[in-house]
Amino acid sequence: MLTNQSMSTNDAVLIARGIEPGLTTAEAASALRLAQQTLRRWAAYETGPIRPVRIGRRLVWSAADVRRLLQGGAS
């Protein structure tokens, strides 16, 4: 997940504006201890407990949704 040390300038601007930055598939998979392909499958078939936002061809996962899932809930 994002830490203060890995936060980019763009992420800091988003946070300052009240917008939480999203996670890449690699970051979300790492946080959830799942294979990236599992998250891609969730996105493709819309079967997972959380869903990403598509930005062009990229998948962006909500950090809040990932945190909620780690705490035992789903969105």
Give tens-digit pLDDT for 10-64: 777 767 777 777 999 999 999 999 999 999 999 999 999 999 999 888 999 999 9
- pLDDT at 2 exceeding the cut of 90: no
- The structure tokens listed for 33 are 């201890």
How high is the pLDDT of residue 6?
Answer: 57
Alpha-carbon distance 45 to 51, whole Å? Answer: 10
Instruction: For residue 61, give the nearest of 37, 20, 25, 31 by alpha carbon.
Output: 25
pLDDT greater at residue 35 or residue 1 = 35
What does the pLDDT read at residue 18?
74
